A and B are shown apart, each in its own frame.
Chain A
Amino acid sequence: MPEFWINMGPQHPMTHGLWNMKVKVDGETVTDAKPEIGYLHRGYEKIMEVREFQKNVVLTDRLCYVSSITWSHAYCLAVEKMMGIETPERGQWIRVVSLELQRIASHLMWLAAYGPDLGLLTGLLWALRERELFLDLIQLMSGARMNQNYPRVGGVRNDLPENFEAMCRRSIEHFLKKVDNEYQRVFQESKVFRMRTEGVGRISAADAINWGVTGPNLRACGVNVDLRRLDPYETYEQIDFEPQVWHDGGAGDSYARFICRFNELRESCQIILQALEKMPKSGAYRVKAPRRAEGEGYAKTEDSRGEALFYVIGDGDDRPYRVKIRSPVFCTMAATPLMLRGNKLADSVAILGSVDVCVGEMDK
């Protein structure tokens, strides 16, 4: 039987968004793949050139609806670098807390999507149930569950509410118990789950680096790169945490990617607890940002999905001259054919799900 192409998408339960993976199959084995993206292109880089620096935060929120704060924060950081201002210390700590809450919510959304991919519907219900806890915390902090518009150029929009710390501790304590008892059993220790994910979608560390794969997907290949550690921003330098890297054999498969993300849930909880401890209890959380700015600024942060880079150029006006968004998923998508080749077609869902695709940021 000759080889032929199959369209996995744009409307396919596997795609988690609107993109198309063209897969070439020989029998049941994938011999080639070609991602087709751009269905959700909204021209953000162009729109941002006619909006003021501050107003662009609303747009960057919507780059990835699952992980809004991390994106707005990356943008604000780049603009701050350009303007030469720095967030007050309490503002930085609040940002760290909000970033990690958002990271947990994002990873739980991914977990909720990845479970049904493998026929594990319980994963969907459980992960979304626990995600509510963190959305509630984010709502308490910023007033909105999603698209929070919370980071500001020069700080954050508002201070933490009074009862935040107690609520946060209670939720995290409850969540960690669930992770250790329930999640661990239904995902990590489940034989069916491991059979589906172990050994499929393998990519070598050298290939991953060369193709620009970043974040948990790269750490799953055994490369110890976490920008919170490698290029510290905000107050991550003062926090004692361990980047989740896959050290054992069989690096770079779907299971390793799952484990790296899954362990990041626990690690993020520890970061939040430490940040609440070390945070100054009062003080300024925002500085006034100048309206106009000239120069260029770039900031790269560890987004939930990898390295998010914003490069902003100002020409002395109150709006950016040029904004460049570097989306981690966009670059990872270029490497997905490497992961798919040689695997069975039925495994492609287990592979692409483990990459954690967010189409909003990919298509900009």
Chain B
Amino acid sequence: MTTAVAQAPQITGRPVPGAEKEVLSQLKGAFGSKLKTAKVVRDRLVEIVIDRSDLIPVCTFLKNSLGFEHLSCVTAVDWKDHFESIYHIENYATGCMVQVNAQIPYDDPKIASLTGLWHAADFLEREMWDLMGVEYTGHPNLTRILLPEDFRFHPLRKDFAQEVDRQYITRRKLRGGK
């Protein structure tokens, strides 16, 4: 699994212009209607929105067929009515980044783990489970990483107690003052 990147193209350290359009058309060709949204945001950035059930096929395709070898970041977002698990995956040969937004229903915060594809997902998913409470099924060691082990909450959720008052200067400004 770790060493299966033998066929990777040469990493020259320079961006390849137009790579994002190529990636987008490949993704559209392979998955078609499964992509809820697919667009080029800016140079070297493609954004796709999928359902959580398509995560593993999409990511496997990205890694094994398109050469996206580097899982940069895993973000979980609490949208109050649903969760979103966002993956930033990068291709070192072209400098192109794909942002995969996988949607998760609020009452069942579970999504497949990517540790089988990228070992980098190990710590990143643990952190997101720790702070946001999204369960990554199939993760070998889904335990608290930043917070104490006996902590009972997932603090980045929007319903977790938070310092709601802004700093007073801004509050005054918001009420129409200067």
Contact = CB atoms under 8 A, between A and B. Distances in A.
Interface of A: 37-38, 41, 43, 45-47, 49-52, 55, 81, 204, 206-207, 209-212, 214, 223-226, 229-232, 243, 245, 298, 300, 307, 309, 311, 313, 318-319, 321-322, 324, 326, 330-331, 333-335, 363-364
Given A50-B164, A209-B5, A313-B77, A231 B12 contact: no
Nearest to B128: A324
B88 A309 contact: yes
B166 A50 contact: yes
A210 B90 CA distance: 11
A255 to B, nearest CB: 22
A45 B118 contact: no
- Of A55, A298, A309, A364, the most chain B CB neighbours within 10 A belong to A298
Interface in B123-178: 123-124, 127, 131, 144-148, 155-156, 160, 162-164, 166-167, 170, 174
B141 to A, nearest CB: 10
B123 A230 contact: no
A69 B150 CA distance: 35
B44 A231 contact: yes
B62 to A, nearest CB: 14
Contact of A210 (B69, B123, B124): B69
Contacts of B147: 38, 41
A324 B11 contact: no
A38 B146 contact: yes
B146 A37 contact: yes
A146 B83 CA distance: 38
Interface string B54-72: 0000000000000001111
Contacts of B75: 311, 322, 324
- Of A210, A231, A309, the most chain B CB neighbours within 10 A belong to A210
A38 B13 contact: no
Contacts of A335: 119
Contacts of A51: 166-167
Contact of A225 (B5, B13, B97, B144): B13
A334 B120 contact: yes
A335 to B, nearest CB: 8
B56 to A, nearest CB: 17
Contact of B145 (A37, A81, A224, A298): A37
B72 A55 contact: no
Contact of A311 (B13, B73, B163): B73
B33 interface: no
Contacts, number: 125
B105 interface: no
B123 A309 contact: no
B32 interface: no
A326 B73 contact: yes
Contact of B120 (A49, A212, A231, A232): A212
A230 B120 CA distance: 21
Given A206-B2, A230-B13, A334 B69 contact: no
Given A212-B71, A226-B13, 5 more contacts: A224-B12, A230-B15, A311-B88, A313-B77, A321-B77
A49 B3 CA distance: 40
Contact of A331 (B5, B86, B124, B145): B124
B146 A209 contact: no
A226 B11 CA distance: 11
Contacts of B167: 51-52, 55
Contacts of B86: 311, 324
Closest 4 CB pairs of A and B: A212-B120, A224-B13, A38-B146, A324-B75
20 contacts: A37-B146, A52-B167, A209-B5, A209-B70, A209-B92, A210-B1, A210-B118, A212-B118, A212-B119, A224-B11, A226-B13, A230-B13, A230-B95, A231-B44, A307-B72, A311-B73, A311-B75, A318-B174, A331-B123, A364-B146
- Of B2, B145, B146, the most chain A CB neighbours within 10 A belong to B146
A334 B122 contact: yes
Interface in B4-27: 5, 11-15
Contacts of B124: 212, 330-331
